[in-house]
Every structure is written in C-alpha cells, then in structure tokens.
Structure 1
Amino acid sequence: MNDKNALPPSLVESIAGFSAGVFSTLVVHPLDIIKTRLQVDRFSSSRVGSSVRVAQGILRNEGGIPALYRGLTPNLVGNSVSWGLYFLWYGKIKEVLHSWQSSREGNGKGGSHLSSLDFFIASGTAGALTALLTNPIWVIKTRMLSTGRNAPGAYPSLVAGIRQIYVTEGVGGFYRGLVPALFGVSHGALQFMAYEQLKRYRQAHGPSLTITDASTTTEGQRELGNLDYLLLSSLSKVFAGCVTYPYQVLRARLQTYDAAGTYRGVTDAIRQIWRTEGMAGFYKGLGPGMVRVLPSTWVTFLVYENTRILLRRDRG
C-alpha cells in the first residue's frame, strides 16, 4: 500500500485506542461492578473478603450472572470513546512536542526524544480533554453499576439515564464528580510517563521476551513482543494506581444517586470519609480494583500496540 492510501497516524492511534477500550471492558466489567459497589459503600468497613461478599449478594439477589453485566452499555461506550479520544489527542500532542523540540534544536524532523515531562504533559492534557467530554457517560455508568436493576429509581438503560438526569438535575448533573475526575488525570499522566520511559529503556537495553529472536526497528532498537507489553503495562499501572487511587473513590461517591444530599462538594466528601472511615475509606475497592485493573491494562495495551502494528504494516 503506498503513502497516498496510508492512514494518518492520528487515526491509527484513535482506532487502536477504541479497539482496546472495547476489548478491555468486555473482559473485566463484572470486576468493575464489584469495585464500584465497594467504593460507594459509606456504611461498612473495608475488610478482607468484601469483594466475595458483594459478588455473592449480586448473584443471589439481583438475577445471577446477567446482573454482573448491568451497566455494560455505558461502560462500553465510555471506555471505547475515552480510549479512542485519549490516544488520538495523546498522539497529536506528542507530534506537536516532537516538532517543537526538533525546530528548537535545529536537528530536523524526528531528531529529538521526548522527556518524562513531555510524556507527562501529553498524557495529562489528553486525559483532561477526555474527562471533560466523557464525564456524563461515567455518571450514568457509576449509577447503574452501583445499583441493581430493580432498585428504586435505578436507570434501566443508558438512554433512560440521560433523560432522567436532564429532567431532574439539569446539565449540571452530567458533570458530577468532574473535579476528582480531573484530579484523576494525574493517574493517566503518571502511567503513560512511566510506560513510555520503560518502553524506551526496554527497546534500547532490555533482553527480548519474544518467543523468537528479537528483531530491530528502523532506529536500531529492539522490537518488543507481547510479553514485554504485559510487563511494562503492569509496572506502570501499579505505580500510577498506588499513587492516585483515592480520587476514584471520591469520584464514585460524588456520582451516586444521592450524592447531592450527602456531600456538599469534594472537600466535604474528603472530610466525611476521613471522619467516619479513616484512611482505609479512601482505598475501598482497591483489592478488586487491582485485580480488575491489571487484566484490563494487559488487554488494553496488547490490543492497542498490536492494532497499531497491524495498521502501520498495512500502510507500509
């Protein structure tokens, strides 16, 4: 395929991100429900076995296995659109930074490497733009995952949720939890900063984890295999997750059905959680969150990287 028929790099990034979001959501949605139920629970203490207790309750009282897939539509829409937009903007911003550095250094296009700060800026900016556009989907997703289908006032579908929020809360209802979501941009920024730097180091210095002999890229760097992507995505996700997890709890609490009558804002939510639940309250759902997040991360990055490789190979 010649260059006239080649897909633009930004479109490659967007398709790869969209595909990654779809696959990762389908794989880990039940764990997302359990994590969300624990995050919004204001009355019980965090303890070993909480995840199993929640899962058993859902299976026993809400309709069995299908209940573990309640809210799949907003979760699927939210993750696929979010990853698609995120990688689109992330790639675009990296291109701008590359061009800016190259022109500043006068060494020609592609002659400079991005720093950790550059990756942090690119991923942080992409994350903020994505959060602003997709927050309404996450509000509905949180509410659907936090309640059973037969609970009073529960949304039966994504469209019903949109209609109900608009009628009862107005446009502002779609942006509940936006402030902690913007705080959470630091999670993606830290993750991608670590991932890109680990990836660069692995390409330049690390031993190959591919089944066959390692090949090299056009820049003389080792081409990474799927096991490399598993390792690097795991390390970067655990690093970012341990640092930023409390924002997920705050966002979930502020997006529940009764949030307006419970918390006056982010500061009040922090104060109430600290007073009634202590530090452990900010880490509720961390267990299933970590169990969920690693398979999700593996699927996301494997699909993303392999889709990019496939689309670029077809372009070549």
Structure 2
Amino acid sequence: MPDRQSTALHLVAGGFGGTAGAILTCPLEVVKTRLQSSSLALRPLCFPAVQMQGLSGTWIRPALPTVGALELLRTILEKEGIRSLFRGLGPNLIGVAPSRAIYFAVYSGAKEKLNTVLVPESKKVHMLSAACAGITSSTLMNPIWLVKTRIQLEARAKDERRTSGFQCAVRIYHTEGLRGFYRGISASYAGVSETIIHFVIYEALKQRIREHRPFLTPALVFSPNSQDFFGVMAAAAASKTCASCIAYPHEVIRTRLREEGSRYRSFVQTLQLVVREEGPLALYRGLLTHLTRQIPNTAIVMVTYELIIHLATKM
C-alpha cells in the first residue's frame, strides 16, 4: 500500500474509532472532569472551605469531603438536567476524530520508520512511536480540549443559558490570550507516559494473541465471531487499565490547570498544592469513573481502528 494511502487509512480508522468512543462515554467523562476539579463540582455538595491554624502557626485547609460519582451524577441530573451530562460533546466530536486520526497516523508512521533503524516491533519502537504520537496530538489539540474542559466544569441551572464552545473560545482569547489555550499542556506531555505504557502493553498482548492462534488465517483474526476479536478488545482494556492507574495523577493536575481563574500555575506547583491541601489521595479523585469510561472507550477505539485497517487491507 502506498505511503500516502496508508496514512489516509490510519487517519480515517483512528477518526472513526475515536468518534464512536466519545459519543458512547460522554456522560462518564463529564462526571470524571467534575470530580477532578478543585471546587466547581464540589461546591454545591460541600460546606464552604475553611482554614485552620496548625501547631506550627501555618494556615491549612482541611481535606474536602469525598463525593462519589453516583452522588455527583444525581446532583447534576437534579440541578442541571440530563443535557449537562453531554456538555462538551460538541468540542469533543470536533476534536476527537482529528485527534485520534493524528495520533494513529503519527504512531503508525513513526513505527514504520523506526522499524527500519531499530529492532522491528521491539518495545523501544513501540515506546518511541507512542511518545511521538502523544506529543504531536497533545500539542495540536490542546486548545479544543481546554474549551471542552471549561464547558464541562460550567455548572448551570436547568433554565440558565449554556455557554457554547465558540463563546468559551472567544472568552479565553479575550481574557487570557493565545497562551491561555495551552494551559495544562505540561500535564498533557506528562500524560504521554500513559500512552507509552498503554501501547507497549497492548502491542505485547496483541502479539501474544497472534502467537497462540497460529492456525487461524488472517481473515479470521478480526471476525466478530472470532476469539481474537474479543482478545484484541481485552488487550486494549487491560493495557489501558494498567496505564491509567499508573499515570492517572496527570489527569487531575491537567484539569486543575485548565480551570478558569485558577490559582494553579505549573505542573509541579499544582502537584505540590494538591498534595499539601488535600492529601495524596486527591491525585486519584475520579479514578474509578475514569476507568469505567476509559476501558470501554479504549476497547471501542482500538477494535474499530484495527477492524477498519484489516478490512481496508483486504479490499
């Protein structure tokens, strides 16, 4: 297959996979983002934050009460309506297709190049390819993800008018300038570690599946009735679970950095502030909701991607 045609195929496959996953898991993403926030999601459910003087004379803030995903979900439905569970879906749909398309195209392109200079299909190839794809995708798509996060964090009553993605982008530009669209980019770069872990484990599991199914023809590998189809889905889910648990704190830090009028300024400063004020466990706030959303989302994305690639190469 010519390079240009191959790149276009990976763009299309990645775009379709990302779009399918985004639509089906949007409500869980809204809940997760609210849980990660420092105050917007918790304000309606908690008493106002107070400060107390410690033994050393310094002022400390007690940890915020823990709010469960179901409790937050019920509050959003009661106070804001079911439409709020799909806040940010517009920017998500605008961004997820090109984001996934860019990601998979860069990943496949980098892997193809690196296979010619390093040991083919080695862990080093997978790690470097995933790093290139993650950094490229994060850099190009951060403005859209920032707008999405701001919209998801905006708590409005059922009868209040919602801010559109365009209005949010204009406000960011007027109040923070072009640099404002790249708030949280440092946390996104740190999150590349999650991408690397995910793809290294995924490629290893996928290779193991192929080794244990030598009697299957390539045409059967992604057949809906084939065990390998579900094997690839399980490999994607397992690899993403491991990666998410290890690298999750960057998600919380990124959400804090993207908050409007935030006192969080840098990756390290935010990390220290969250741990000091709320404790280390605050870095894992919303993890269960994240996994509940991310595991099926990743499985849908990867299987859709692999299936489209497989069908296209057989045409």
Query: The TM-score by the shorter chain falls in which range?
Result: 0.7 to 0.9
2:55 corresponds to which residue? none
Structure 1 residue 14 displacement after superposition: 1.0
Q: Which letter maps to 2:243?
A: A
1:91 corresponds to which residue? 108
2: distance between equivalents of 1:239 and 1:24?
Answer: 19
Matched, 1:229 2:232: yes
Mapping for residues 75-86 of structure 1, pairs under 5 Å: 75-86=92-103
- Tell me the alpha carbon deviations over residues 126-162 of structure 1, each in whole angstroms, 9 at most, x when there is no partner: 10011010000111111111123459x9962121122
SS at match of 1:8: helix
1:164 corresponds to which residue? 171
Structure 1 residue 258 displacement after superposition: 2.1
Contact 2:115 2:121 in 1 (8 A): yes
Contact 1:249 1:282 in 2 (8 A): yes
Q: Which letter maps to 1:78?
A: G
SS at match of 2:115: helix
2: distance between equivalents of 1:60 and 1:143?
Answer: 21
Structure 1 residue 268 displacement after superposition: 1.9
- Tell me the alpha carbon deviations over residues 214-259 of structure 1, each in whole angstroms, 9 at most, x when there is no partner: 62339xxx83532011110011101111110000000000001121
Contact 2:150 2:260 in 1 (8 A): yes
SS at match of 1:227: helix
1: distance between equivalents of 2:138 and 2:208?
Answer: 30
Please, which of 7, 18, 21 is the counterpart of residue 18 of structure 2? Answer: 21
2: distance between equivalents of 1:267 and 1:238?
Answer: 25
Q: Which letter maps to 1:223?
A: V
2: distance between equivalents of 1:98 and 1:154?
Answer: 53
Q: Which letter maps to 2:253?
A: L
1:61 corresponds to which residue? 79
Structure 1 residue 269 displacement after superposition: 1.1
2: distance between equivalents of 1:168 and 1:296?
Answer: 34
Matched, 1:282 2:283: yes
How many residue pairs get aligned? The number is 287
TM normalised by structure 1 equals 0.85
SS at match of 1:100: coil
Displaced runs of 4+ in structure 1, greater than 6 A?
none
Contact 2:257 2:265 in 1 (8 A): no
1:109 corresponds to which residue? none
Matched, 1:121 2:118: no
Mapping for residues 200-239 of structure 1, pairs under 5 Å: 200-205=207-212, 215-217=216-218, 223=221, 225-239=228-242
2:91 corresponds to which residue? 74
Contact 1:46 1:281 in 2 (8 A): no
> What is the percentage of aligned positions where both structures have the same residue?
30
Contact 1:25 1:296 in 2 (8 A): yes
Structure 1 residue 168 displacement after superposition: 1.1
Q: Which letter maps to 1:51?
A: A
Q: Which runs of 5+ in 1 are unaligned?
A: 102-111, 209-213
1: distance between equivalents of 2:164 and 2:218?
Answer: 47
Q: Which letter maps to 2:24?
A: V
Contact 2:249 2:283 in 1 (8 A): yes
Structure 1 residue 280 displacement after superposition: 0.8
- Tell me the alpha carbon deviations over residues 248-279 of structure 1, each in whole angstroms, 9 at most, x when there is no partner: 000000001121xx123222211111111111
2: distance between equivalents of 1:53 and 1:150?
Answer: 17
Q: Which runs of 5+ in 2 are unaligned?
A: 47-63, 223-227
TM normalised by structure 2 equals 0.85
Contact 1:148 1:154 in 2 (8 A): no
Please, which of 35, 38, 52 is the counterpart of residue 35 of structure 2? Answer: 38
1:193 corresponds to which residue? 200
2:137 corresponds to which residue? 130
What's the RMSD between the two structures over aligned residues?
2.3
